[in-house]
Amino acid sequence: MFRASVIFCTLAALSFSGANTNVRAEGAADGPVLTGAQVEKAVQHDTSPPLDTLRSLGAKAPSAPDRPLRLIPPHGASGAHPDTVLQTSAPTPAVATSTGLNFDGVGIGFTGPAGSFTPNAAPPDTEGAVGLTQYVQWVNESFAVFDKLTGTALYGPVTGNTLWTGFGGQCETSNDGDPVVLYDHIANRWIFTQFSVPTNGPYYQCVAVSTTADAMGSYNRYAFQEPNFNDYPKLGIWPDGYYLSFNMFNGNSFAGPRVCSLDRAAMLAGNNATQQCFDLSTSYGGLLPSDLDGSTPPPTGSPNYFVSFDTNSLDVWKFHVDWATPTNTTLTGPAVVATAPFSAACSGGGACIPQPNTSQRLDSLADRLMYRLAYRNFGDHESLVVTHSVSATVNGAATVGVRWYELRISSGAASMFQQGTYAPDANYRWMGSIAMDKLGDIALGYSVSSSTVYPGIRYTGRVPSDPLGTMEAETDLLDGGGSQGTAGHKLARWGDYSTMSVDPVDDCTFWYTTEYLKSSGTFNWSTRVASFRFPSCPAVVPPATSTPTATATGSSTATPTPTSTPTNTHTATPTNVPPTSSPTPTRAPTNTPTVTNTATSTPTKTPTVTNTATSTATNVPTATNTPTSTATNVPTVTNTPTSTATKVPTVTNTPTSTATAVPTATSTAPTPPTQTPTATNAATPTSTPTSTPGIEVSTASSTLQYTLNGSDGTSWLNLDSNALALSLTPTTTVNAILSANADLWTSSAGYNQDLGIWVSGGTFGSGQVVGWKESGGPAAFSPNAAYLQAVVPLSGGTTYSVKLVWKANRADPSTIWSGAGSGSPYSPTGLTAELIPVATTVSSGVSSQQYTLTGSDGSSWMDMDASKLLLTLTPTTNSTAILSGNADLWTSSAGYNQDMGIWISGGSYGSGQLVAWKESGGPAANSPDAAYVQVPVRLIGGTTYSVKLVWKSNKADPSTIWAGAGPIGGAFSPTRLTAEVVPSGSTTTVTDALSTQQYLLSGSDGSTWTSVDASKLLLTLSPAVNSTVDLSANADLWTGSAGYNQDIGIWVSGGTFGSGRVVTWGESGGSATNSPNAAYVHTLVNLIGGTTYSVKLQWKANTSDPDTIWAGAGPIGADFSPTRLTAVSMVTGP
């Protein structure tokens, strides 16, 4: 409740607001039903440019000091009975949580990218919310965006009204505060709101809803006019609306509470929006709307719940909104839920909180419930948790404790499940905030103070097995360093509210932010942000039984999505399947499991997207269930020199080759149309730039699942124009290594999936596809962990747009999919750009012709193209070269796999040797696999090396294998060979672990991640300074029983990753036995300097598998195809 400086409150005279006149009777349990909601249009709306391009408007000087607090009428102050749920002790040790980050937020002396911050108002009204990759904190007058992995400020501090720069009107010109920021995890959007309340009106509520999951992106902005002073706005997210509550004042007189629902679907889409509101009488006040936590939505059609307290009771309202027919909108209540007796602290909300060395007391704000009213649907029950401050007596001494409640909802009716007053000693505890994680663990944060304890920050919590109504011993987050109001200015105002929120990614980690002081004084407050979780709550999301769907256009009702489980029976009809031999694979030692609970991955059916899409491809696949053999015993061990033979036989169709970027297919539209992604309640991080001296990296990632229905096979369509798009403006001319990864699959066997990278700007004009790959669809529900790489030159000072696009390979009446898994979050789909100055060596050979190799003997490696797919490297100093090959490989005769390798000669490699290879399965004819192979090698300065891409069949093959799918406009999908040379001693370092043994995992339960090899495939990283690390894994995965897919993940522990979690994963299809998929996954993570991290390669089956999955094809000699784990570290800060 902030307005310019010290925030106000006056004791209110009671009055009745009679704006809603239609009341009908209902059962006594629910209370009366109010109809006739006021429908009010937003007076103004627009869509902003990206936030990080807007100019901060600057802080407005306080208009007057020490404005009084606007109290609402007293409730619950009878004190006639003792507190029967008072907890005056707590077991030791402190609440069993593992701590994460603990850093300063916006406050005195805080400095971020936009400069420093100095408070000129009180209280801070501390608000915070956590998204997929960012944490946003908003205090009175300013906000900042932080990296949630490191706590580093990415943006800000800037004034709150910066969000409305260029909007016009009072939302732009005033910065009055009472801010709230939330993350809408259903749609992966941020919601900011604050009021505009000039002395004599008019009064507005300013609301901004982000267009992406990036808090620094653009916003749909709205201004809603309110009839009176709209004090203390509080926001809740619900599937059918954004719900707001206010304490309305007419001058200094309390006019009653107002509750509103804002049209969430319209605001997500950036359309005209309305709010529907009810005004209540002065008999009530301090209502809070329920705010949804967790991935399970409320039951279909559930109302939003509003709660306030009264004398020894809670009042509960149910707000049901009908956007189509507003006359059907109702507010029902209050239903009265009895509580244990209590008295609101400080005689109903005044200032009674003591501090050391001063007679100045702090405000309790005990006249109202404290934000948030956190709602969670556990499936078998619904819960609401909330807290407020009450009087307590401990060992005969008067003090203040935090009263907390858990209400349960059954058939729409609320009842008390448990309650308690936490006051374990005589210190005063107040200004709390409470939330629950997905297991029902509760965390309660608050301020603590006394005549001997400076105002500080603590929290307590409980697990479901604790006795009802009790909390565990508290944890001290941060001790205060001084008292407020001791510098010649008496200041009582404190906090106004704090915020406990839950991380939407793991649904386990709590984030708490509130006020404290570093030293005694006035207007010198600081704030703190801290994270922690209960160890019983897994760090990653377990399998889900159903997938709630939320469209990007903001459909107001969440709909469960049925899960489709693959079976061993496929509907595709085999064609042209020659007899194949299936030798028994060599079975190497089993890996030792190390368990982490995480998401399982059975591809799920998700509702259809609307716009159709994309390109052409000849050699249309026809699927088969015929198993293919693994690689036979072929010479050429990893470290054994093997000179390759002559060039590949026949080239089919017209070759079109280029040295850098692949030209746009003629069928590609200049600007791909945008589809509506079908999203689940999962992460959608977007465009997260990081940098290292000389190198800039930007990445966009999404853990949504996407569908494309009815592709015409010609038109490229944006996969997600918001979440999977990058904007690049290099300062100097660079080579850009663009890459994309996606788990692609089909629901109808026989249709392949094409994935492309589209660039516009500069010489690319209105846009063209610079690289693409095709993923085979030999069977339904069989993902391919596809990876695509392109290298293009970009000019300094020019802005480029990079997007991920896709289509079917031909006209497809059914659906293709991106993202595997049984529920949110799905396997990540990613787009990355690494901008490397031309002074750094990046060499890339590319060809868009199609290659064939007929009659391979299964042992001799052949050059794929000794002129176009050849690199010559002469580093000036000792270096590490990251070599990679990328090709669409396939067979014209099912049962023969395709092996692709990287061959290097020169220096210690002599006349040449194979340094890496991967095998691509041939379960069906004409079904490409977007294969990728990567290896770091050491190069000596001043020595010349030759690098080639080579290939063969996995066994003697009388027929033909192929590289390159398509064509599109005469050009086949590009085959590429790339070398990124990293000089020794540079700020970029490469760490690598590999194994050439074969691994098996039998009886996977489909949910437990297991280390592939906890000794060989393990990296220990201890960066000296803050770094961004590109983690990648490369393995040939396959199954012993058709119908079971293989999941591969990268697991990190240490620092903010705590005891460990899977940071990315991909799924490889199991459509046939003994048919490897050259799977590749990668992600960027931020590591803190001076901290040690462990990185492991983990795997599992996608569903409970009674048989065996495998890693490693071959062998060739004694070695199987290498399984590799690599870390490329780039310095990002001191």
**Distance (Å, whole) CA 683 – CA 1065:** 14
Average pLDDT over every residue of 954-968: 87
Write down the pLDDT at residue 629: 29
Lowest mean pLDDT among 320-334, 681-695, 811-825: 681-695
Burial track 682-698 (b if 16+ CB lie within 10 A, e otherwise): bbbbbbbbbebebbbbb
Order across the sheet with 288-293: list the strands.
22-24, 33-35, 330-338, 313-320, 304-310, 288-293, 370-377, 382-394, 397-410, 413-422, 86-87
Q: pLDDT for 718-751, tens place per residue?
A: 999 888 999 999 888 888 899 888 888 787 777 8
The Cα 70–Cα 230 span in angstroms is: 11
- Checking if the pLDDT of 299 tops 90, the result is yes
How much is the pLDDT for 922? 53
- β-bridge pairing 678-680 and 547-551: antiparallel
Across the range 858-877, mean pLDDT stands at 93
- What are the CA-CA distances from residue 238 to residues 215, 223, 553, 679, 986 (Å)? 20, 20, 15, 16, 50
Question: What is the pLDDT confidence band of residue 417, given thresholds at 50, 70 and 90?
Answer: very high
Residue 980 predicted with pLDDT over 90: no
Contacts (Cβ under 8 Å, ≥6 apart) of 869: 845, 846, 847, 863, 948, 949, 975, 976, 977
How does residue 879 score in pLDDT terms, banded at 50, 70 and 90? confident
Tell me how far apart the alpha carbons of residues 405 and 314 are, in angstroms, rounded to a whole number.
Answer: 10
Residues of the chain with CATH 2.130.10.10: 22-533
Asked if residues 1021 and 1129 have their Cβ atoms less than 8 Å apart, the reply is yes
Cβ–Cβ under 8 Å, residues 232 and 195: no
Sequence-ordered alpha helix ranges (H) in 128-263: 170-173
In this predicted structure, the answer to whether residue 1104 has a pLDDT above a threshold of 70 is yes
Per residue in 1079-1088, pLDDT (tens digit) is 888 888 889 8
Look at 447-461, 543-557, 694-708, 712-726 and tell me which has the smallest mean pLDDT: 543-557
Choice among 632-646, 837-851, 1062-1076 with the minimum mean pLDDT: 632-646
Residue 685 confidence (pLDDT): 33
Residues 211, 219 contacting (CB under 8 angstroms): yes
Answer whether residue 602 shows pLDDT above 70.
no
Count CB neighbours of 640 within 10 A: 13
In this prediction, residue 618 has a pLDDT band, given cuts at 50, 70 and 90, of very low
Q: How confident is the model at residue 78 (pLDDT cuts 50, 70, 90)?
A: low
Better pLDDT: 582 or 1036: 1036
Higher-confidence position of 1091 and 657: 1091
Query: How many beta carbons lie within 10 A of that of residue 552, not counting itself?
Result: 25
278: pLDDT strictly greater than 90? yes
**Whole-number Å distance between alpha carbons of 148 and 531:** 9
Surface-to-core class of residue 958, CB atoms within 10 Å of its CB (0-12 exposed, 13-18 middle, 19+ buried):
exposed
Radius of gyration of the chain (CA): 31
- Give the model's pLDDT for residue 821: 80
Which two three-digit tokens encode residue 788? 């695509």
Lookup: tokens for 905: 């000669």
More confident residue, 79 or 989: 989
Task: Please tell me the predicted confidence (pLDDT) of residue 778.
Answer: 55
Please tell me the distance from the alpha carbon of residue 606 to that of residue 278, in angstroms, as a whole number. 37
Pick 842 or 588 by higher pLDDT. 842
Determine the CATH number of domain 22-533: 2.130.10.10
Closest CA to 916 of 1123, 666, 690: 1123
Checking if the pLDDT of 650 tops 60, the result is: no
Region of residue 694 (phi > 0: left; psi between -120 and 50: alpha; otherwise: beta): left
3-state secondary structure of 51: helix
The whole-angstrom separation of Cα 1133 and Cα 1025 is 6
47: confidence class by pLDDT, cuts 50, 70, 90: very high
Number of H helices, E strands in the chain: 3, 78
Question: How buried is residue 65: exposed, middle or buried, by Cβ count under 10 Å (0-12/13-18/19+)?
Answer: middle
Torsion 158-163-168-170 (CA) sign: negative
pLDDT category at 117 given cuts 50, 70, 90 is very high
Report residue 264: phi and psi, to 5°: -60, -45
Banded model confidence at residue 984, pLDDT cuts 50, 70, 90:
confident
How far apart CA 1076 and CA 628 sit, in angstroms, is 9
Answer whether residue 658 shows pLDDT above 90.
no
Distance, in Å, from the CA atom of 698 to the CA atom of 1132, rounded to the nearest integer, reads 13
Nearest-CA neighbor of 743 among 802, 701, 791, 710? 701
Q: How many residues are given for the chain?
A: 1134
For residue 679, name the pLDDT band (cuts at 50, 70, 90): very low
Question: Please, what is the average pLDDT of the chain?
Answer: 80
276-283 mean pLDDT: 96
CA distance 510 to 498: 13
Select the highest-mean-pLDDT range: 612-616, 658-662, 837-841, 1012-1016. 1012-1016
Report which listed range, 368-372, 579-583, 772-776, is most confident. 368-372
What is d(CA 906, CA 889) in angstroms, rounded to the nearest whole number?
Answer: 28
The dihedral region occupied by 439, where left means phi > 0, alpha psi between -120 and 50, and beta the remainder, is: alpha
- With cut-offs at 50, 70 and 90, classify the pLDDT of residue 1118: confident
Percentage of the chain with pLDDT > 70? 79
Looking at per-residue pLDDT, the higher value among 32 and 663 belongs to 32
Per-residue pLDDT tens over the stretch 788-824: 888 888 998 999 999 999 998 889 888 888 988 877 7
pLDDT classification of 56: cutoffs 50, 70, 90: low
What is the band of 663 on the pLDDT scale with cuts at 50, 70, 90?
Answer: very low
Query: What's the number of CA atoms in the CB half-sphere (13 Å) around residue 311?
Result: 8
State mean pLDDT over 19-24: 48
What is the spatial distance between Cα 262 and Cα 205, in angstroms, rounded to a whole number?
Answer: 11
Residues whose CB is less than 8 angstroms from the CB of residue 1120 and which lie 6 or more positions away in sequence, other chains included:
586, 588, 996, 997, 998, 1036, 1112, 1113, 1114
Chain-centroid distance, C-alpha 449 = 37
- Write down the pLDDT at residue 676: 32
- Please tell me the distance from the alpha carbon of residue 1079 to that of residue 1122, in angstroms, as a whole number: 12
The residue ranges of DSSP E strands in 339-381, in sequence order, are: 351-355, 358-363, 370-377
The answer to whether 170 and 666 are in contact (CB under 8 A) is no
Question: Lowest-confidence range among 410-414, 654-658, 915-919?
Answer: 654-658
979, HSE (Cβ side, Cα atoms, 13 Å): 26
User: How many other C-beta atoms can be found within 10 angstroms of the C-beta atom of residue 135?
Assistant: 28
> What was the pLDDT predicted at 781?
57
From CA 1067, how far away is CA 1046, in angstroms rounded? 6
